Structure 1
Amino acid sequence: MTDLRLDIHGVGKSFGGLEVLRDLDLAVRPGEFAAVIGPSGSGKSTLFNLVSGLDTPSTGDLLIDGEPADLRSGQVAYMPQKDLLFPWRTVLDNTALGLEAQGVRRREARRRAGELFGVFGLDGFQGSYPFQLSGGMRQRAALLRTVVLERPVLLLDEPFGALDSLTRTEMQLWLADMWQRYRWTVVLVTHDIREAVLLADTVHVLSPRPGTVIERIQVPLPRPRGIDDLTEPAFAAAERHVLGTLQGRLIP
C-alpha cells in the first residue's frame, strides 16, 4: 500500500539465542496516532530502536515513506522516557540542540525552536534552566526539541511515565490538543491503557516475548478528545477491549 508512512512487515529480532520480536506486522498511515502496548519484555524498546535505525532487524522489512529505516534516512525523531535536558544549557539552548547536531547554525536553530515556545506553553522560559521547570514543562520542552526537527515520524517512548498522576493526565490532554493541531504521525509506546485509548487512533497490542502484534484495535472515539471522554461508555469499553487482549481473554 503506497499511502503508508510506516510499514513493518514480518520483522523479527534476536540477540544471540534470545528472540525478542517475531513476525511483527505494524502499519501507520500519515497523520495517524498509533499506540503500542504490551507486557514488560515484549520488545517495545527494541521495536523503537529498529524504527529509528539504531539497530537492524534479523528478519523482515521496515520502511518509512517507502524507504528502509536507517540512521541516514532522517525520517524519525525519537523522544525517550526521560527528558534528557542538559542542566547547564538554557531551555532554549536545549530545545535547539537537535538542530545544532544536524549542522544548523546556532542562531538559526534557536530561532526555529523559539518560534514554538508559545504553542508549547513555554513562552517566557527561554532563558531559564531545566531545574527551574516543573516536570510537565520539562516534558513539553523535550517534545519541542523532538518536533522542531520536522521528521515525518515521531516516536514517543512512555513520555509521561515518570510524572505524577495529575500532571500525567494534564500532559495527556495537552498532547491530544497538540496532535489535533499538527496531525503528526506518532507511534507511542505506553504501559497506560487509558493513555493509549485517549490519545491513539489505533492500539497495537503485543504478545509476551517474542513480541508480535496480536491485535490492532481501532479506537471508536471521535476527535477532538478531552477530559469528558474519560467517562464515556465507549471509552470504558475500549479500555476493557485492550485489557482483555493483554490478558488473553475477552472482558465484557
Structure 2
Amino acid sequence: MNSLRIEGVGKSFDQLEVLRNLELTVEQGEFAAVIGPSGSGKSTLFNLVSGLDHPTSGQVLVEDEPASVESGKVAYMPQKDLLFPWRTVLDNTALALEAQGVRKREARARADALFADFGLDGFQKAYPSQLSGGMRQRAALLRTVVLERPVLLLDEPFGALDSLTRTDMQLWLADMWQRHRWTVVLVTHDIREAVLLADTVHVLSPRPATVVERIEVPLPRPRGAADFTAPEFAATERRVLEALRGTTAVKTA
C-alpha cells in the first residue's frame, strides 16, 4: 500500500516556481529520505504533504486521500524541538494530544507509556533545560509519534546537534525504526544520515525542484555503526553525491 503519493506536483508563489512536476511514492513502512541543494523546496514539499499548503498543479495523496490538516494522517517534527520551557517533559510530550482534544490524564498516560522506549524514563517531571540536546530531540520525536499518524515527516531533526550526538541519534533512530517500522519521510542535508536511515533516497534538483534520481539503499536491516565502513555504504554515499553534483552542474551549465 502507498502511504504517500506525490503525482506531478508543481508549486509556485506568484512568479516564483518552487516545485515542477515532482513525483515521489513512499510505501507503508518505508523510510524515505529527501535530499537536495539548499533552497530547492524541501520545506515547501513538507508543507504540501502535511496539508498546510496546496499544490498549484498535481496532487498529494496520503493513504489515497488528498493531503489535508483535517485528515489527521501526517505528524510533523521540525528541526527545532519547540519544547515549552515551563512545561515538564511529560506535559510537553502530551501537548499535541491535548491540542487534539484528548483529556489531559489520557494524553499524559499515552505519552508516559513511551518514555522507556525513548530512553526518557525517569525524566517525566524534568524540564527541557535539564535535558541534553539528544534527549530533547527524543522528547520531540515522542511527541510526534504518540499521535499515531500513518506518516511521519522529520525535517532535519538532528541538524542542530554536535557531530557525536548526531551520530548517536542517527543510530538510535535506526534502531527505533527497526522495532516500530513507521512510515517516515526525512528531509536532510546529510548524505551519511540519509544512507544509514533510509530505504530510498530521493535526490532533488535546484529550484524549481523535481526528483532527478531515486536511489535504493542496498544495505540490509538492521543497521548500525558497523555499516559506516561497509563498501556498499561508501558506494551509495558516492552515488548520492554524484546525483547532487549532477543537479548543480545542470543548473550552472
Category of TM-score, reference length = shorter chain: over 0.9
1:139 corresponding residue in structure 2: 137
Which one of 90, 93, 97 corresponds to residue 91 of structure 2? 93
Paired residue type of 2:14: G
Q: Which amino acid aligns with 2:139?
A: A
- Which residue of 193, 196, 199 corresponds with 2:197? 199
Partner in structure 2 of residue 31 of structure 1: 29
Question: Is the partner of 1:131 in helix, strand or coil?
Answer: helix
- Aligned equivalent of 1:14: 12
CA distances 1:128-169 after superposition (whole Å, capped 9, x unpaired): 000000000000000000000000000000000000000000
Give structure 1 regions of 4+ aligned residues with deviation exceeding 6 angstroms: none
Find the counterpart in structure 1 of residue 227 from structure 2: 229
**What pairs up with 1:75-224 in 2 under 5 angstroms?**
75-224=73-222
Shift of 1:71: 1.1
Q: Does the residue aligned with 1:222 lie in a helix, a strand or coil?
A: coil
Aligned equivalents of 1:111 and 1:4: distance in 2?
A: 31
Distance 2:79 2:40 in 1: 17
Q: CA deviation at 1:125?
A: 0.2
Query: What is the TM-score of this pair, normalised by structure 2?
Result: 0.97
The equivalent of 2:2 in structure 1 is: 4
Q: 1:51 aligns with which of 49, 52, 55?
A: 49
SS at match of 1:247: helix
Query: SS of the residue aligned with 2:125?
Result: coil
Q: How many residue pairs align between the two structures?
A: 247
Partner of 1:68: 66
Give CA-to-partner distance per residue, 1:169-196, whole Å, 9 cap, x none: 0000000000000000000000000000
Instruction: Give SS of 1:8's match.
Output: strand
CA distance in structure 2 between the partners assigned to 1:78 and 1:64 by the alignment:
14
List alignment gaps of at least 5 residues for structure 1.
none
* RMSD of equivalent CA atoms: 0.6
